[in-house]
Structure 1
């Protein structure tokens, strides 16, 4: 078995679980490749990892059977960007905070490795959003699991986002920005801006304005076969675009088209992992939060 691992910094309380993970992998003679930042962090805090294989960019990721993400949801989104069209199954161990995507607790690492070794898991195919542009953006990593976002770069004036759905004019959003979210991303930035929660396999995108000037403008759910074209006007003549955790500033001449990617993210799920259970737990549904 070959496993790649990407991670971020974690609290000292997670140390025994991480050490146990590498002990388990070593005992089972698993071939391990680490991302360069995660390898550097492990060396810095003195956790033995026995692996000499390191990758520094997505092209150097070896053909793993599975990829493990050590961190929160943001780390898993980074890991998905490393995998891309290769569609290697990925699972997140939650040593971060919220954990809508990284749902395996550190206490269950041994159970997880045993499940991976014995193929005792299911694959959850998740839709990705992809960006097409007239300029080279994101160094070819033009896809995201959660969302694509446009936001203003200054602190005072709004931007205007002229939006077209399948080449038909939809609306001009006067707002701080606009989010195009996948069902997976519906529990992320879109949710905090008033967007609806979608179950993961809904075949939809959500178009969610960020602080719109017109209060009658609301999030819109569209089919994921739709092609969404965006033209942005700004007093500063530029704006910020983001795909999951990756962002950069572009100018008004940048043409943007959003559509469903022709490949998916393949998330590993334990048999007792349920989206509805996660939803109730993370959003505290069913609990009296009035006091």
Structure 2
């Protein structure tokens, strides 16, 4: 399964959630591509060690599922870039409320297990 990853680029204190996301994807040998803006934030601004991945700009990506890690604003930004691709979006909420991004960071491990066991609905 290939994921396209979008993320919040202004909450440095939430970077541990992104590190956990990449760790979980690695455990599942997932393929992924990362929005260049988010990758730049993680590597240049936060100096995180992110696994090698294909980078993309705008809506120039191919994936089976999109991951949005942030709040509802990040989810809406990802949705606008998904457009008519008809790709499901998994919203991991690192914001405050999370009406659209409704998976909590503590639920990521269980959620990816469910995804890889085809126990999810679109």
TM-score in terms of structure 2 length:
0.90
What residue is the counterpart of 1:53 in the other structure? 54
Consecutive unaligned residues of structure 2, counting only runs of 5 or more, are none
Once residues 27 and 120 of structure 1 are traced to their aligned partners in structure 2, the CA distance between those partners, rounded to angstroms, is 18
How far did residue 115 of structure 1 move? 1.7
How far did residue 65 of structure 1 move? 1.3
What residue is the counterpart of 1:89 in the other structure? 88
Once residues 66 and 101 of structure 2 are traced to their aligned partners in structure 1, the CA distance between those partners, rounded to angstroms, is 12
What residue is the counterpart of 2:35 in the other structure? 35
Q: What's the Cα RMSD here? A: 1.3
Alignment check: 8 A CA contact 1:61 1:82 kept: no
How far did residue 33 of structure 1 move? 0.4
Once residues 113 and 97 of structure 1 are traced to their aligned partners in structure 2, the CA distance between those partners, rounded to angstroms, is 22
Higher strand residue share: 1
- The verdict on how the C-alpha distance between 1:15 and 1:57 changes in structure 2, with shifts beyond 3 A counting, is closer
The structure showing larger relative contact order (alpha-carbon pairs under 8 Å, at least 6 residues apart) is 2
How far did residue 28 of structure 1 move? 1.6
Computing the radius of gyration from Cα coordinates, the structure with the larger value is 1
Alignment check: 8 A CA contact 1:73 1:100 kept: yes
Once residues 122 and 50 of structure 1 are traced to their aligned partners in structure 2, the CA distance between those partners, rounded to angstroms, is 28
Alignment check: 8 A CA contact 2:18 2:69 kept: no
